[in-house]
């Protein structure tokens, strides 16, 4: 079984070929970071135009590097949402056209489910990864989940405001660093001596925090505001020290919730961290320490599959049953992961 994955929810144009059970034959990602950097963030119109330009060579490369012919493909998986409407649309049009021409099924995939199931690229050696405590940390979403099988997820907690990646991107902007901010903050923080301020990491007060964020809520917008005040009041502050302190506050809030969930349930088979922010070595080290303490296996996604890629999209129909779409399938910029409930 050979599946072509197609991903274009934001500013990466990606295609990948996977063979069953879960062998990555090729994974090609064309990043548009350089085009968006002058604007300090992703410009939707620019992204859509770049996807249209990038898809033909990216698809050709994915098939060529996999060493297959187009006619060998058995199905196509494409990101249906969530994401930028015009970006999603370019991926879906390409995928639909190919599935019709090759007469093979088209599987619409939820972008976040792709991130979640990327944990299977980590250690095929873990034969029994469930129930997994999954920390999903991307530029748009932050959630702590309980996965009992591919396709069966329960949200234990989520952010009530900014996502962790968003907090890093916005923080980097305040620090005068380029987009995307997460890797820039990590790089700068490595040069710090640890003499920066201590930023607050508490949750806002109020009853509705758990209603909106679940049993293990996250909140990052207050932290971003403290960073802004700190920089306004200390214009001469050492940026590296401040970046390190800010990164520490974001990552330790993430680790604190994981620790609570490790304490609350005893049956975890592993802890997994997925999404772009999972690239961060400081976060990985924090989770490793926690997992050692609780004697749990830590599943870390290989660096190349943390940020947006198409291999994780192609993985979804290989790991669980998906219904193929009909010709009327549409993108959904606000697509909800089906069947997932927030545990209150
Ligand atoms: O998963 P992803 O590629 O896209 C979304 O689905 O949002 O995640 C992108 C996010 C950005 O916020 C970026 O700043 C963050 O991942 N990121 C990092 C690192 N590399 C990317 N955050 C912290 N440390 C990194 N090394
Ligand atoms: Zn993503």
Within 10 angstroms of residue 19's Cβ, the number of other Cβ atoms is 17
Q: And the tokens for 286?
A: 């924090």
Residues 229 and 129 in one domain: yes
Measured in angstroms, how far is the CA atom of residue 101 from the centroid of ligand 1? Answer: 35
Measured in angstroms, how far is the CA atom of residue 217 from the centroid of ligand 2? Answer: 20
Residues 285 and 311 in one domain: no
Q: Read off the pLDDT of residues 27-64 as tens digits, 9 standing for 90 and up.
A: 999 999 899 989 988 999 999 999 999 999 999 999 99
Distances (CA, A) of 149 to 35, 128, 146, 285, 301: 39, 10, 9, 26, 17
The band of 125, judged by pLDDT with boundaries at 50, 70 and 90, is low
Cα separation, 142 vs 304, in Å, equals 20
Residues 27 and 142 in one domain: no
Residues 191 and 216 in one domain: yes
Cα separation, 336 vs 159, in Å, equals 16
pLDDT > 60? residue 272: yes
Beta bridge partners of 135: 144, 273
Residues 313 and 293 in one domain: no
Of all protein residues, the one whose alpha carbon is nearest to atom 3 of ligand 1 is 307
Measured in angstroms, how far is the CA atom of residue 277 from the centroid of ligand 1? Answer: 4
Residues 208 and 144 in one domain: yes
- The 3-state secondary structure of the chain, one letter per residue: CEEEEEECCCCEEEEEEEECCCEEEEEEEEECHHHHHHHCCCCHHHHHHHHHHHHHHHHHHHHHHHCCCHHHCCEEEEEEECCCHHHHHHHHHHHHHHHHHHCCCEEEEEHHHHHHHHHHHCCCCCCCCCCEEEEEECCCCEEEEEEEECCEEEEEEEECCCCHHHHHHHHHHHCCCCCCHHHHHHHHHCCCCCCCCCCCCCCCCCCHHHHHHECCCECCHHHHHHHHHHHHHCCCCCHHHHHHHHHHHHHHHHHHHHHHHHHHCCCCCEEEEECHHHHCHHHHHHHHHHHHHHCCEEEECCHHHCCCCCHHHHHHHHHCCCCCCCCCCCCCCCCCCCCCEECC
Pocket test for ligand 1, best of 14, 91, 111, 165 (most atoms within 8 A of CB): 165
**Domain end marker among 300, 317, 332:** 300
Residues 80 and 227 in one domain: no
- Give the residue among 93, 112, 91, 113 at the shortest CA–CA distance from 101: 93
Pocket test for ligand 1, best of 182, 246, 273, 283 (most atoms within 8 A of CB): 182
Q: Read off the pLDDT of residues 295-329 as tens digits, 9 standing for 90 and up.
A: 999 999 999 999 999 999 999 999 999 999 998 89
Q: And the tokens for 76?
A: 């196509």
pLDDT > 70? residue 1: yes
Residue 211's pLDDT is what? 87
Residues having CB closer than 6 A to ligand 1 are 10, 138-140, 165, 168-169, 180-183, 186, 275-277, 279-280, 307-308
Q: Read off the pLDDT of residues 144-186 as tens digits, 9 standing for 90 and up.
A: 999 999 999 999 999 999 999 999 999 999 999 999 999 999 9
Cα separation, 94 vs 279, in Å, equals 29
**Domain end marker among 300, 316, 331:** 300
Task: Flag whether the pTM goes above 0.75.
Answer: yes
Of all protein residues, the one whose alpha carbon is nearest to atom 14 of ligand 1 is 182
Pocket test for ligand 1, best of 9, 139, 284 (most atoms within 8 A of CB): 139
Residues 135 and 239 in one domain: yes
Ligand number with the minimum distance to the CA of 280: 1
Residue 219's pLDDT is what? 96
For position 53, which CATH number holds? 3.30.420.40
Cα separation, 168 vs 124, in Å, equals 31
pLDDT > 60? residue 226: yes
Percent of the chain clearing pLDDT 70 (strictly above): 99
Measured in angstroms, how far is the CA atom of residue 48 from the centroid of ligand 2? Answer: 16
Residues 279 and 317 in one domain: no
Q: Read off the pLDDT of residues 181-222 as tens digits, 9 standing for 90 and up.
A: 999 999 999 999 999 999 998 888 877 998 889 999 999 999
Provide the domain limits for residue 14: 2-115+306-342
Cα separation, 228 vs 94, in Å, equals 42
pLDDT > 90? residue 121: yes
Residues 27 and 74 in one domain: yes
Angle of helix 85-102 versus helix 44-66 axis, rounded to 10:
30
Q: Read off the pLDDT of residues 76-115 as tens digits, 9 standing for 90 and up.
A: 999 999 999 999 999 999 999 999 999 999 999 999 999 9
Contact 25, 311 (CB under 8 A): no
Average pLDDT over the chain reads 95
Residues 156 and 230 in one domain: yes
Domain total in the chain: 2
Residues 253 and 321 in one domain: no
> At 291, phi and psi to the nearest 5?
-65, -35
């Amino acid at each position: 079984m050979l599946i072509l994955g197609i991903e274009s929810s934001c500013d990466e144009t990606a295609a990948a070929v996977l063979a069953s059970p879960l062998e990555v034959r090729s994974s090609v990602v064309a990043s548009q970071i350089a085009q968006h950097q002058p604007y300090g963030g992703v410009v939707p119109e620019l992204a859509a135009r770049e996807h249209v330009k990038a898809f033909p060579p990216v698809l050709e490369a994915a098939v060529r590097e996999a060493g297959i012919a187009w006619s060998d493909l058995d199905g196509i998986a494409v990101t249906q949402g969530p994401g930028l409407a015009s970006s999603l649309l370019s991926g879906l049009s390409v995928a639909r056209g190919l599935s019709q021409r090759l007469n093979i099924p088209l599987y619409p995939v939820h972008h976040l489910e792709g991130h979640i199931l990327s944990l299977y690229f980590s250690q095929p050696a873990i034969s029994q990864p469930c129930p997994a405590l999954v920390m999903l940390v991307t530029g748009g979403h932050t959630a702590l989940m309980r996965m009992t099988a591919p396709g069966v997820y329960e949200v234990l907690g989520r952010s009530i405001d900014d996502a962790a990646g968003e907090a890093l991107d916005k923080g980097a902007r305040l620090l005068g660093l380029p987009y995307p901010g997460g890797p820039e903050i990590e790089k700068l923080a490595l040069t710090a001596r640890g003499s920066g301020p201590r930023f607050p990491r508490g949750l806002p007060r109020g009853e509705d925090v758990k209603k909106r964020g679940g049993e293990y809520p996250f909140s990052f917008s207050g932290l971003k505001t403290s960073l802004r005040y700190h920089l306004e009041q200390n214009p001469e502050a050492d940026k590296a020290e401040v970046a390190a302190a800010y990164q520490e506050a974001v990552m330790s809030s993430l680790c604190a919730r994981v620790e609570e969930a490790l304490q609350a349930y005893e049956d975890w088979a592993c802890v997994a961290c997925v999404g772009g922010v999972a690239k961060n070595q400081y976060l990985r080290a924090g989770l490793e320490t926690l997992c050692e303490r609780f004697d749990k296996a830590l599943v870390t996604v290989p660096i190349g599959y943390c940020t947006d890629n198409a291999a994780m999209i192609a993985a979804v129909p290989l790991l669980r049953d998906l219904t193929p779409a009909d010709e009327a399938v549409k993108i959904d910029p606000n697509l909800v992961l089906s069947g997932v409930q927030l545990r209150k």
